[in-house]
A and B are shown apart, each in its own frame.
Chain A
Amino acid sequence: MSVNFRVQLYCLLLMLSALKGEGRYLQENEVTAEGLFSLLNSEVKRESSTDFIYRRPLRCLDMLSVEGQFIFSADRPQLNCAAYFIAEPGEVISVEFSAVDIDCRRGDFLKVFDGWFLKGEKFPSNEDHPLPLPERYVDYCDTGMPRRVVRSSQNVAMIFFRVHSPESGFTITVRKLINPFPCNIISQTREGSFTMVIPHQRTNCSFSIIYPVEIQIEELSLGRLGSNDAPVKRSVPGCGGTGDFVELLGGNGVDTAKMFPVADICYSLKGPAQLKVGCDNAVMRLVSSGKFINRVTFQYRPLDHHELQKLKGNDVEDFCFIE
């Protein structure tokens, strides 16, 4: 038999055997065109979208990682309340106020902060955030505020609020929006992987992991992508804090400006390079001059108790422990 004829015969046999099994399955289920195209049915979409607005009461201290409506209603004066929002690394958060019933003149307030505040420290730091600090606050009580929708610059945001009267309250609607070039991220999980890209922007981006972790850098691409380019020769050891480089920071706060540099790399590399950081917070920070496209791919996993104890035993320092 010729090759062509054999190929055609095999195809025919394959189709027949597929139809023998799958065809019967399809027939028994009576899949119709109407069912197949129900995804495009606007009625179904409306029904599904209205059913899926998640609602629940907002607590005085709360953390939200879902979209939905959150209603705060004070049963007694609540003077020190905060709600943290966190989304996926490639998302930003939109907060919309509605049904706000607070007495600004009495000292009630409701403020959105573009980032997180923790133990007196803020993330992203002043130098890494695109806005000056006063503009990172949006106060509902500000008479000049025309809109009630506020969008964050990164995947985290928070609100501070205080109400004196038990009848006070408000509703916020939280949505997540796609951010195609995420910069300044806090990881929701203690393990995962991420690729951070800074495309021709003079900016510094941080990926913060609030757990003791082992970080493995899979690939780092700094500067020009041409393989013929010779690596930059530096007269001083290390990266010198200039140009394009990636640095790994460790510390017990969230402000990257107050963390200790653990390592820095200013040359492209391929292949896994591992580092254990036994700090409360480990940050991968990519510093970019804006002249090139810089990219770093890494993954991280939590350190177990045994590894943490070993790190503490080996290290002479009194703060977080690095290996």
Chain B
Amino acid sequence: MKLNFLVSTVVMLVALLPRYECRAIESQGAVQQDPGPQSDLQQQSLPFLVRLGEEYFIRLGNANSPLSTPNMSPDAPSATISRALQLHLTQRLLQGKVGNISRLVSSYASQLDDSTERGKRSEEPPISLDLTFHLLREVLEMARAEQLAQQAHSNRKMMEIFGK
């Protein structure tokens, strides 16, 4: 009796719940496009390396100066830390510098080796954007505020509709 009730409840719920469109994700949502003449794209496009004007570029007295070659520091901070991860971190700070430099060099080398002139042009964006992190965060905050305002508005609309 109880089993019948449970089964019938489940059946009703499945029948009445809204269905969502099932979507097969092949490779983490690959960009949908024809795999056609993308190689011809760069030949047909006009030169696209254009410097952005002062309209967007804001020079700030940024405390985080641009990346410079890191100096090897043989004197690691002494262990005032107790967690194993922090000890491991100290080791990685020393080893990681060397590994990182070689990684940077190898990554740049591989980019140069692999790219033909057409490939080189495809590495660059069509517009050179000198957007700083500060400006990016500002516009992101604005977008978040817009999202919250829009959510509040749609919640209000929902309440009005269902209140009728």
Contact = CB atoms under 8 A, between A and B. Distances in A.
A and B pair up: yes
Contacts of B52: 80
Nearest to B142: A63
Interface in B78-126: 83, 85-86, 88-89, 91-93, 95-97, 99-100, 103-104, 107, 111, 119, 122-126
A109 interface: yes
A117 B161 contact: no
A64 B143 contact: yes
A312 B133 contact: no
B65 A210 contact: no
Interface residues of A, number: 101
For chain B, the bracket of interface size reads 35 or more
B31 A135 contact: yes
A210 B136 contact: yes
Contacts, number: 226
Contacts of B143: 63-66, 86, 188
A55 to B, nearest CB: 11
Contacts of B83: 273-274
The listed residue with most A CB atoms (<10 A of its CB), out of B29, B32, B125, B133, is: B29
A279 B64 contact: yes
Interface in A16-41: 35, 38-40
A242 to B, nearest CB: 12
Question: What is the predominant secondary structure among interface residues of chain A facing chain B?
Answer: mixed
Interface of A: 35, 38-40, 44, 47-48, 51-52, 54, 60-66, 68, 79-82, 84, 86, 92, 107, 109, 111-114, 117-120, 122, 126, 130-131, 133-139, 141-142, 144-147, 149-154, 160, 162, 177-181, 183, 188-189, 203, 210-211, 217, 237-238, 241, 251-253, 257-258, 260-265, 269, 273-275, 279-281, 312, 314, 316-320, 322
Contact of B31 (A153, A258, A317): A153
A122 B124 CA distance: 10
Given A179-B29, A258-B107, A273-B85, A312 B63 contact: yes
Contacts of B61: none
B147 interface: yes
B41 A134 contact: yes
Contacts of B4: none
Given A40-B16, A79-B50, A237-B95, A130 B64 contact: no
B58 to A, nearest CB: 11
A152 B119 CA distance: 22
Contacts of B40: 144
Contact of A262 (B96, B104, B136): B96
B85 A138 contact: no
Contact of B129 (A64, A119, A146, A189): A119
A258 B131 CA distance: 18
Contacts of B36: 144
